[in-house]
C-alpha cells in the first residue's frame, strides 16, 4: 500500500470512527466543541505504539497530551513547559502521568555509543547522562531489552522529580492536591506499571490523602486513581 493509499485509508477510517462515536455517544462532539476539561495531563513518548487515550480506555477530551522522543522532560524546553503550565495552571488537571515504555528507540540509542545523527543526539543527552550516572547498575543487566526498560524507568523517575520541583506544580500540589504519577507501558502486552515514584499516596505530602480516590470515566473503561496508584476497570 503506497503512502497516498495510507492517507486515504486514514481519512475513511476517521469517517467511520466519527460515525461510530456519534452513535455511541450522541452528545460527545457537541460537548467537545464547547471546550475541554481533561482530568489528566499525559507526558509520553512519540512512539506510534503508545497512543495514550487508546491504552487508557478513554476518549477525546479526557487527556491533555505532550509527547516527544523518549518522553524527556527538560525545564529548558519551552514546548513541553508551555503544555505543562497550561494544563496545570489553566485547565487545572488533577493528575499528571509521565509514561515511558518498553522497546523505546530513544533509550536504545542512549545505551549505544553510536551517533544517531541530526538533532536526536542533542535531544537524548539527558538520557545519556542518566546512563552514565547509573552505569554500574545498567551494565549489570545483561539482557539488552531489560536494560533499556530500566533506563526508561530511570528517565520517568527523573521527569517526575523535575515536575515536582517546578514552582507552579508545587503550588498546585499544595493548594489543590495535584498528583504526579510515573508509569511504564509494556508494548508487548499493552499494560501499564505504576512506578510509584510520584507524590500520590505518600504520607506527609501537602494536599494528598492516602485513601483518596478519583475516577476518570471513558466509554469503555474507568481509570481509578487512589493511594495505591492507578487501576483500570471495564464498565
Q: Choosing from 99, 104, 107, 197, which is the catalytic residue? A: 104
Catalytic (active site) residue 67:
no
Residues making up the annotated binding site are 45, 47, 101, 104
pTM over 0.85: yes
Catalytic (active site) residue 99:
no
Catalytic (active site) residue 45:
yes
Catalytic (active site) residue 101:
yes
Q: Choosing from 59, 101, 147, 181, which is the catalytic residue? A: 101
Nearest 5°: the CA angle 123, 127, 131 is 150
Residues making up the annotated binding site for Zn(2+) are 45, 47, 101, 104
Best CATH choice for the domain 38-209 from the list 3.90.1280.10, 3.30.360.10, 3.40.1190.20, 3.40.1050.10: 3.40.1050.10
Torsion angle (degrees, nearest 10) of CA 212, 217, 221, 225:
-20
| Cell numbers standing for residue 11 | 481519512
Residues 6+ apart with CB under 8 A from 176: 92, 207
Catalytic (active site) residue 107:
no
Q: Write out the chain's pLDDT in tens, 235 residues.
A: 566 799 999 999 999 999 999 999 999 999 999 999 999 999 999 999 999 999 999 999 999 999 999 999 999 999 999 999 999 999 999 999 999 999 999 999 999 999 999 999 999 999 999 999 999 999 999 999 999 999 999 999 999 999 999 999 999 999 999 999 999 999 999 999 999 999 986 644 444 454 555 656 655 455 666 655 556 554 4
Query: Torsion-angle region of residue 201: left (phi > 0), alpha (psi -120 to 50) or beta?
Result: left
Amino acid at each position: 500500500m503506497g503512502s497516498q493509499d495510507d492517507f486515504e485509508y486514514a481519512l475513511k477510517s476517521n469517517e467511520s470512527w466519527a460515525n461510530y462515536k456519534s452513535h455511541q455517544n450522541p452528545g460527545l462532539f457537541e460537548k467537545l466543541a464547547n471546550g475541554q476539561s481533561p482530568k489528566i495531563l499525559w507526558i509520553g513518548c512519540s512512539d506510534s505504539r503508545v497512543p495514550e487515550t487508546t491504552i487508557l480506555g478513554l476518549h477525546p477530551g479526557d487527556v491533555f497530551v505532550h509527547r516527544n522522543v523518549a518522553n524527556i522532560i527538560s525545564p529548558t524546553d519551552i514546548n513541553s513547559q508551555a503544555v505543562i503550565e497550561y494544563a496545570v495552571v489553566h485547565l487545572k488537571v488533577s493528575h499528571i502521568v509521565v509514561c515511558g515504555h518498553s522497546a523505546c528507540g530513544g533509550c536504545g540509542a542512549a545505551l549505544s555509543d553510536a551517533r544517531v545523527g541530526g538533532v536526536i543526539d542533542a535531544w537524548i543527552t539527558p538520557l545519556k547522562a542518566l546512563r552514565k550516572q547509573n552505569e554500574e547498575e545498567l551494565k549489570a543487566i545483561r539482557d539488552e531489552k531489560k536494560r533499556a526498560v530500566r533506563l526508561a524507568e530511570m528517565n520517568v523517575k527523573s521527569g517526575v522529580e523535575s515536575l515536582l520541583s517546578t514552582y507552579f506544580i508545587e503550588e498546585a500540589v499544595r493548594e489543590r492536591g495535584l498528583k504526579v504519577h510515573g508509569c511504564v507501558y509494556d508494548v508487548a502486552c499493552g499494560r501499564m506499571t505504576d512506578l510509584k515514584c510520584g507524590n500520590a499516596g505518600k504520607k506527609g505530602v501537602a494536599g494528598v490523602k492516602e485513601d483518596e480516590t478519583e475516577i476518570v470515566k471513558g466509554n469503555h473503561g474507568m481509570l481509578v486513581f487512589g493511594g495505591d496508584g492507578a487501576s483500570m476497570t471495564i464498565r
